[in-house]
Structures are given as C-alpha cells and as structure tokens.
Amino acid sequence: MKGLTLLIFCLLLQIAGWTNCTFSKIPTLPGTYQATNSCVDGAWTHYFHETGTEDLILFSVKTSTAATFDISTIKVVIPSIGVTRLSNAPYVVAGAPWIVSNKYWEAKPNESMPLANNISIRVYIDESDYNQIATNINSNFNGQIQTIDDLIFFGFKSGYNINPDPTVPDAHNNANHDNFVQCSSTSGVFQGTIYFAEMMMNDFIGGGLGGSTFGGVLPIELADFNLEEEDKKVKLTWTTLSEVENDYFSVMHSISGREFQDISRTKGAGNSSTAKNYTHFHKTPAIGDNYYRLKQVDYDGIESISEIKVIKFRGTKYIDITPTLAINQIRIDIPYQFDFGASLKIFDAHGRMVYKGSFLPEEQRQTVDVGSFAPGLYQIKVSDGDIFLSKAFMKAGK
C-alpha cells in the first residue's frame, strides 16, 4: 500500500449505548446524500443527512483527533444500485476480479492535507452492500467471501484529481499504489444491520468498498521496488511504508516476462506503520533480460502481486575502482561504453549522494577527487536507466 497515509481497521467492537444521537438507517437508494448536520456522542462526532422523517448517518470522526471537517464536503453518493468490476484500474493486480460497490463516500478536513496527525474516521454499510459484492465474487469467480470482514475498504489521497465514482468511464484512472490505500477488514456493528469500518488516516478525499478472491491490491504500501547488478548478481531492494497482516514476500523471476517462478521467500513485518527495507540477491540470473515481481502473502494465505520490473544482466564485473582504499583520488573503469552515456553517482553509508557526474558515450574511465570525503564506506553507481552498475570503496583518513 508513498509515504504519508496509514489506513488501519481497528478491533471488532460492538458500539452500544448511544445517548446523544441515534441512527437506524444509512443511504440505500440512488442519490447524493449531503451531510446537513452533526452531533457529538461521547468520543465521536457523527455527520448525518436529514430527510424530514429520519436521519441517515453518513460519516463519523473521533472527537479527540485534531481535525475539523467542512460539512459541505461530506457526502455519500450512490450513482446506481449494484457493483462495478474495475479490472483496469492502475492499482489492481493483473487479472484480479476486483468488484467495487457503486456506493462511495467523500469527506475533506478543513485543514490542509496531509494532516499533521492521523485521525480516526468511520464509514457505514449494511447487509445489502455486503451481499451485492459477495454474491458477484462468489458466483462468478469462485470467491470465498463469507463475512463482512472479507470485504476491502479503501481510500484515496488528495492532490491526484481522483474521482471516487466507480461508474464513470475509466474509473479510478489516476489511482495507483502511491495514492490508493487499502484497509484490512471491517470493524464491527454500529446498530442492528449497520456495520462500520474504522480507519486512521492523514490524507484522503474519500473512498469505497469492494471485494476480490485474493484482495485485488497489495495489503502493503510499497514505496519502491528496484533492481541493479552487483558482483555478478541481481540485487533486488524494496521498501514498504506500512504493512497489514503481511506474512512474507516471494521474489518471482522470469526470462520471458510471462511465466514466473518463486526463487526466494522473505519474512514480512506483519503489521507495521514504519518504513521497512528489504533486500534479496539473485545469484543465478540469465544473461540478457530478467523479469522480477513480488508476491505478497498475508497470514490467511491471500496472495497479491506487484508490478513487473526488468533488468538487462551482462554477467560481467562491471566496475573497477583503483585504489579500493582511497585517500585523494579514485579511478573508475567500466567494462564497455554506453551508447548514450550514463550517470555516475557516489553515495555515503547513509545513502546520501555526495558526488554526481556522468560518462560520455565514448568514455570508460574517469578519475574522481575524493580528498574532501569523510572517512568511511562509499557506493559508486553507474546507470543509463536500463543497466545498473554498482561497486563499493573505502575512503581513508589523511
């Protein structure tokens, strides 16, 4: 699931004893339901739509969180009864039967987003919302949706011009893994057959609910996934910003880009709201193009697949550095000329870039002055955007 949003469903809780405001219904018919009023009941502020005969609860915010909402931006929209399949949305795993309810919600804090702190919100569904998705997935795709906890709630970050309406042409076209955030499960019963999903987030414009046979999207917030050749191996690195019920990753490899095999398994962090870095070395890549993708598996065995990455592997020792224990200068030799030149970057042990240069198309050797570098370990990286070369050296003190 890029960096500032955390979306976590809370514990299964039964909400009872509402004293200051009471609701028994949510919007169920096609239409736009704008919040017209709000009330405070204990720890929660509830926003609702007044019809003249009954109040329909739309959205709730935990009162203790430091954010207020423009009531005019809070709404539940039902363009039509039913569900929509969004197989081509950029955030959906290829081939996934991703079924989304036509109902969606919108809300916007008064403060500029992202907010300084996460806030807790609740959205509401009923059994008809659940049944529409479960019936479609189970009947048409041999799904295993058995309870409301098997549904997936999701939200969109602000600033990406995303229309949450799943019924428009090219729905969710601007949504991808950087701005789409997935929740793990529903949270509990509000009253009768009204269920709530509780989420914590600091950047959002709205969202919806859906279902799939295996989740539809990665239940992690994947910040990056990179490949480079290092010491006659392919080095794979990836970073997650948050993880939900993440058991492990499998690195999948292919030489055709079509048929993949699992080549390694890396233990996941389980549940995490901090950045986690992962590394794997593929020791036996093929000469030429090598394709990789990540398979993420949660505690329930549900699998999701990342985008495909490719690297051209040459199988040679790419960079020679002389001397490897440097004082004033280093000589950098690469094994062949790049057709269009290549970038040359040097990073310190903390990942900070301390030098930036380039190789011209006819160049295979450069000398770099490192006399001003602090003593320590440094990494040289040369790349033309397709081929990545890497080699380390030590800078000694004078």
Distance CA(358)–CA(170), nearest Å, equals 41
Query: According to the model, what pLDDT value does residue 167 have?
Result: 95
Q: CATH 2.60.40.3080 region(s) of the chain?
A: 320-395
Query: According to the model, what pLDDT value does residue 10 have?
Result: 28
Distance CA(197)–CA(186), nearest Å, equals 5
Q: How many CA atoms lie within 13 A of 111 on its CB side?
A: 13
**Residue 136 backbone zone (phi > 0: left; psi -120 to 50: alpha; other: beta):** alpha
Distance CA(24)–CA(47), nearest Å, equals 14
Q: What is the mean pLDDT of the chain?
A: 82
Nearest to 243 by CA among 289, 296, 191: 296
Q: pLDDT-based confidence at 370, cuts 50/70/90?
A: very high
Residue range 142-189, pLDDT digits in tens: 777 888 877 888 888 888 889 999 999 989 988 876 688 766 455 678
Distance CA(371)–CA(281), nearest Å, equals 32
Query: According to the model, what pLDDT value does residue 280 have?
Result: 94
Which stretches of 27-169 are assigned E, i.e. beta strand? Answer: 31-34, 37-41, 44-50, 55-62, 75-78, 83-85, 99-106, 119-126, 152-156
Q: What is the DSSP secondary structure assignment for residue 114, as one 8-state letter?
A: S
Residue range 23-54, pLDDT digits in tens: 889 999 999 999 999 998 888 899 999 988 88
CB-based contact 129:101 (threshold 8 Å): yes
Query: According to the model, what pLDDT value does residue 205 have?
Result: 86
Query: According to the model, what pLDDT value does residue 147 have?
Result: 80
CATH code of the domain made up of 320-395: 2.60.40.3080
Query: According to the model, what pLDDT value does residue 342 have?
Result: 87
DSSP lists the bridge partners of residue 369 as 329
Query: According to the model, what pLDDT value does residue 328 have?
Result: 92
Residue range 236-258, pLDDT digits in tens: 999 887 777 788 999 999 887 77
List CB contacts of 139: < 8 A, sequence separation 6 or more: none
Residue range 196-208, pLDDT digits in tens: 888 777 777 889 9
Query: According to the model, what pLDDT value does residue 18 have?
Result: 35
Distance CA(205)–CA(59), nearest Å, equals 13
Query: According to the model, what pLDDT value does residue 135 have?
Result: 93
Residue range 343-359, pLDDT digits in tens: 999 999 888 999 999 99
CATH code of the domain made up of 222-313: 2.60.40.2060
Rounded to two decimals, what is the model's pTM? 0.54
Q: How many CA atoms lie within 13 A of 324 on its CB side?
A: 4
End-to-end CA distance of the chain: 46
Torsions phi, psi for 129 (to 5 deg): -60, -45
Q: pLDDT-based confidence at 317, cuts 50/70/90?
A: low
Residue range 268-303, pLDDT digits in tens: 988 877 788 999 999 888 877 888 988 888 787 767
Q: CATH 2.60.40.2060 region(s) of the chain?
A: 222-313
Q: pLDDT-based confidence at 5, cuts 50/70/90?
A: very low
